[in-house]
Amino acid sequence: MKTPFFIFIIFTFILNSLLCSTTLEISTSNDKRINKYYYYFNNQTIWIDKNNQIKDIAFDLIEEIKDDKILKPFVNKIFNIKKIENLLEHRDHLEKTKIIELDTLLTKTYDQYMNYLARGFINWKSFIEELEKIEEESEIKAKWSKYEVRKNNIKLLKTSIEKDDINYALKQVNYTFPYANDLEEEITRLEKIKETGGYTITPEILQPLKVGNFYPQIEFIRQRLYESKDIDSLECAKVVKNCQYYFDKKLFKAVINFQKRYGLITDGVIGKNTIDKLNTPIEEKIKVLRVNLERMRWLPRNLGERYILINIPAYKLKLYEEKKVQLKMDVIVGKKKFPTPIFSHKMSEVIVNPYWKIPQTIVKNEIIPKLAKDSKYLAKENIKVFENWDVNSLEFDVSKVDWNMYVNNDLIGTPKEAPMRFIQTPGGSNPLGRVKFLFPNQYSVYLHDTPEKQYFKMREKTLSHGCIRLEKPFELFENILTINKDDIKIVKKLEESDYKLSKKIPIHIVYLTAWVENDKLQFRDDIYNYDKIQSKLLFESTF
């Protein structure tokens, strides 16, 4: 009697398994990565329940992918969305093999999309190759560091299914950058404007348009600024006859608002640059937004409770604390020939009254040619020449050196033949000014003061050799360090002093040509041509 009963139990268990669950064979996929999912899920379907019903989370995943703000135009070319949707549509009549196929497709799609969220979509190797081409052709050393999120996608999926919320997994790897969600909303807004025909085109002008005058283009400009919310109504100064053509004060303020959003000179005069920005096709704007969102997936997910953010195209530094801006200032960044690298690090040290240890490339290309013409150049600039980078090392007597012999050669950078290190003393014309902020990195860049404050008034601030010059360095100094009267005395005495930070401050140097600030969409010029390179990789080379 025991044996038949035992057989009955086994038979019942097998029958229930067949009725209540769709079991997969481990060899279903040739993809070892996908097989790991099913091994973790005991070789059972992941997206289909025990009653062979498609779980809501499967539909949610597809909708999230279809609505991805970066990939939306070509999402069907990347994922098997149409095939999945076709299987979902006929889900009530699927054979077991098709159910298994659907489940496997969903798993592959989930894994692919999670990896995209964590790493970005642009082929990073291709981008680095583009930068290397630039260096080969133009000797421009453009550098960009990327940060990837590494999570266990399988465990995240398990938790998402338990919570019945696919967004739980997606949010663990997707960008967390402050501007990201706002930029997504702007893409949605611009797409709606595009569907209705796009922005009004402003006619060309023969001369700059100034407030207080009549111009036929004003009617179009007012409409265009209303569409971009730079002016709140289309009403004009009705006390003036033919006011639709009159450049009134209300429109003048709207023009300034627009110019601010594009980083233009805010004079309220409508010139060629302003017209060009007004007439930028909306399709191009949407592309720029998508490229900038892509970049946000290359950033660290945890920026820090207190951190410094420097946006190169905006020439702006912001110090954040508890998600609020505590300090902001203009910055001067690397020339187009010496672009400031894009990366994240941690500030650890501040030096007041720094010596400037002049890079050998600057010595060779700039200082030596000047010395060949003026042997007293070093004395005028308070530059001394030492045996090594230690200011206490042997100092050379340069009064009798024939600098012409060093022009156009590498002797100055060869320690065995010419162990010369040029160091400029604190104060005076020292380009580091009175304070520099260190975050030791592979690119040898840092933040520093500058004696040439007049350059902060320029619209385009690409003037350095890669380091970042600060408009208000001592405000940053006071914000990150507690200083006393003795510290202030040291600053005045021009004595070099080193301050170690008790807690390192994350610093993020980013490249954003579009973002949202104070509910206003901002655009800046693509000063290093990264938009052009990355747009090609994102929108053209991919397919």
Strand segments (E) across 131-197: none
Task: Give the confidence band of 25 by pLDDT, cuts at 50, 70, 90.
Answer: low
**Residue 186 covered by a domain:** no
pLDDT (0 to 100) of residue 388: 87
Please report the pLDDT score of residue 415 as a whole number. 46
The count of domains in the chain is 4
Q: Does 88 fall in a domain?
A: yes
Which of 25-29, 233-237, 425-429 is predicted with the least confidence, judged by mean pLDDT? 25-29
435 close to 350: Cβ distance less than 8 angstroms:
yes
For residues 102 and 238, membership in a common domain is answered with: no
> In 376-525, where do the E strands start and end?
383-386, 421-424, 435-438, 447-448, 462-464, 468-470, 497-510, 514-517, 520-523
Check whether residue 232 and residue 94 sit in a common domain: no
- Tell me the pLDDT tens digit for each residue of 187-205: 999 999 999 999 999 999 9
Q: What is the mean pLDDT of residues 518-534?
A: 96
Boundary-marking domain end, from 382, 408, 424: 424
Q: Which two tokens stand for residue 47?
A: 């997206």
Q: Which of 331, 354, 362 is nearest to 507 (CA)?
A: 331
Residue at which a domain ends, from 374, 403, 424: 424
- Placement of tokens 């000014």 in the chain: 433
Q: Are residues 242 and 380 in the same domain?
A: no
Take residue 118 and report the two structure tokens written for it: 């964590």
Judge whether 538 lies within some domain. no
Is the separation of the CB atoms in 366 and 505 below 8 Å? no
What is the predicted pLDDT for the residue at 16?
Answer: 44
Region 10-23 average pLDDT:
44
- The reported pLDDT for the residue numbered 15 is 38
The percentage of the chain sitting over the pLDDT mark of 70, rounded to a whole number, equals 90
Does residue 528 form part of some domain?
no
Q: Which residue in the list 236, 345, 467, 508 is annotated as catalytic? A: 467
End position of a domain, from candidates 373, 400, 424: 424
Residue 13 reports pLDDT greater than 70: no
pLDDT at 410: 62
> What band does 32 get if pLDDT is binned at 50, 70 and 90?
confident
The more confident residue out of 333 and 31 is 333
Task: Give residue 305's pLDDT.
Answer: 94
CATH of the domain at 348: 2.40.440.10
Give the separation between CA 384 and CA 406, rounded to whole angstroms: 17
Residue with the two structure tokens 């060869």: 414
Q: Is residue 198 part of a domain?
A: no
Say whether 156 sits in a helix, a strand or coil: helix
Catalytically annotated residue among 243, 448, 465, 508: 448
Same domain? 457 vs 416: no
Whether 521 is covered by a domain: the verdict is: no
Question: What Rg, from alpha-carbon coordinates, does the chain have?
Answer: 31
Is there a single domain that holds both residue 99 and residue 51?
yes
> What tokens were used for 339?
């672009």
Clarify whether residues 348 and 394 are in a common domain.
Answer: no
Is a pLDDT exceeding 60 seen at residue 39? yes
Per-residue pLDDT at 18: 42
Picking from 288, 259, 45, the residue whose alpha carbon sits closest to that of residue 161 is: 45
Q: How far apart are CA 42 and CA 38, in angstroms?
A: 6
Triad 76, 81, 86: Cα angle to 5°? 130
Dihedrals phi, psi of 359, to nearest 5 degrees: -55, 145
Which is nearest to 299 in space by CA: 129, 437, 132, 506?
A: 506
Cα–Cα nearest to 190, from 82, 292, 308: 292
Q: How confident is the model over 112-131, as pLDDT tens digits?
A: 999 999 999 999 999 999 99
Active site annotation includes 465: no
Residues 368 and 433 in one domain: no
Same domain, 80 and 151: yes
Residue 542: is its pLDDT beyond 60? no
Please check whether residue 3 lies inside any domain of the structure.
no
| Measured CA angle at 378 (ends 375, 381), to 5 deg | 135
8 Å CB contact between 464 and 335: yes
**SS3 assignment, position 436:** strand
Do 398 and 412 belong together in one domain? yes
Whole-prediction pTM: 0.89
Residue 270 sits in which domain range?
218-278
What tens digit of pLDDT does each residue of 370-382 get? 988 998 899 888 9
Q: 381-411, pLDDT tens digit by residue? A: 899 999 888 888 888 888 888 888 888 776 5
Statement: residue 353 has pLDDT above 80: yes
Q: How far is CA 291 from the centre of its chain?
A: 9
Classify burial at 365, counting beta carbons within 10 Å of its beta carbon; exposed 0-12, middle 13-18, buried 19 or more.
exposed
Whether residue 30 is found in the same domain as residue 89:
yes
User: Where is pLDDT greater, at 97 or 535?
Assistant: 535
**Paired residues of 48 in beta bridges:** 54
**Total length of the chain:** 543
Residues 92 and 102 in one domain: yes
DSSP string, 181-201: HHHHHHHHHHHHHHHTT-SPP
In our burial notation (b when 16+ CB lie closer than 10 A, e otherwise), range 42-53 reads eeebbbbeeebe
Active site residue 236: no
Q: Which residues contact 269 (CB under 8 A, 6 or more apart)?
A: 208, 209, 210, 255
Read off the pLDDT of each residue in 343-349 and give the average, rounded to a whole number: 97
71 and 152 both lie in a single domain: yes
Give the lowest-confidence range in 14-18, 342-346, 380-384: 14-18
For the segment 509-527, the average pLDDT, to the nearest whole number, is 96
Q: Which comes out higher in pLDDT, residue 338 or 9? A: 338
Alpha-carbon distance of 189 to 289, in angstroms, equals 12
The pLDDT of residue 483: 64
Q: Which of 324, 315, 342, 306 is nearest to 502 (CA)?
A: 306
Average pLDDT over the chain, rounded to whole?
89
> If you average pLDDT over residues 76-101, what whole number do you get?
86
Q: Is residue 270 part of a domain?
A: yes
Q: What is the pLDDT of residues 437-491, one digit of tens each?
A: 999 999 999 999 999 999 999 999 999 999 999 999 999 998 998 766 566 566 6
End-to-end Cα spacing for the chain: 68
Q: Which two tokens stand for residue 211?
A: 């407030």
Give the model confidence (pLDDT) of 273-332 as tens digits: 999 999 999 999 999 999 999 999 999 999 999 999 999 999 999 999 988 999 999 999
Facing residues of 351 across strands?
436, 498
For 207-222, what is the mean pLDDT? Answer: 96
